[in-house]
Amino acid sequence: MLDHIPPPSVHASPVRVTSRVALSLLSLAAGVAGTLWLQELAEPTEGLAGLRRALRPEGYAILAFQLVAVVTGTAVHGLAHLPRPRRIGAAWGAAGVVLGHALLVAVLTWPLAGVAPELSHGSSRYDSGALDPAWLACVLLPAAVAACVGGFFPRPAPDREPTVRAALRPAVFATATGWVIGGVLLLLLLVMALLRGLL
């Protein structure tokens, strides 16, 4: 008779790790492919073309990647959790919050794109036009990458049901870190736009 039954291992199995890596690479590839498709779609589509002009090509590309990466990352990693519908529901709740944040950022960047310096394609080491896409990348891409690597599907505690709050934690941490850097760039951009308006 067994006197002691060892607890289940807290470490993920090699198969699970390999599966998660494969799904993450698939999600990233889908995000890039979807972004390129939306870039191509903006050429003949008047509404998307206007949005691309308003946000500038760099801002449009970053927002497109955010949208596609969050949706595909959540959907692809959800395939591994089909027997756990509550985890999938929590992940989609987190994805909705992240996309809502992206929408607010898009509303904020819309007027900024009109007054920000243009991105130069020269060889200058300092390009003030890079501030606009740089702050957008800082505040949006961390959550997109978190979705691609399965960050909305954290391992739940054994005695707790998965919640949207738990699914959001990785994205909130990544986005907050991005805002620390992106917020500084945004302030520089606002100061530069103000000075350009005064001069």
Residue 96 lies in a domain: yes
* pTM of the entire predicted model: 0.80
How many CB atoms are located within 10 Å of the residue 66 CB?
28
Residue 6 lies in a domain: no
Residue 193 lies in a domain: yes
Q: Residues 54-109: pLDDT tens digits? A: 888 888 999 999 999 999 999 999 988 888 888 889 899 999 999 999 999 989 88
Residue 8 lies in a domain: no
Q: Residues 139-173: pLDDT tens digits? A: 999 999 999 999 888 776 655 666 788 888 888 88
Instruction: Return the pLDDT at 144.
Output: 93
Residue 136 lies in a domain: yes
Helix ranges (DSSP H) in 79-126? 85-115
Q: Residues 12-55: pLDDT tens digits? A: 577 778 888 999 999 999 999 999 998 888 887 777 888 888 88
Q: How many domains does the chain have?
A: 1
Question: Which range marks the domain in which residue 54 is found?
Answer: 15-119+127-198
5 pLDDT band, cuts 50/70/90, is: very low
Residue 140 lies in a domain: yes
Residue 188 lies in a domain: yes
Instruction: Return the pLDDT at 165.
Output: 83
Residue 69 lies in a domain: yes
How many CB atoms are located within 10 Å of the residue 172 CB?
17
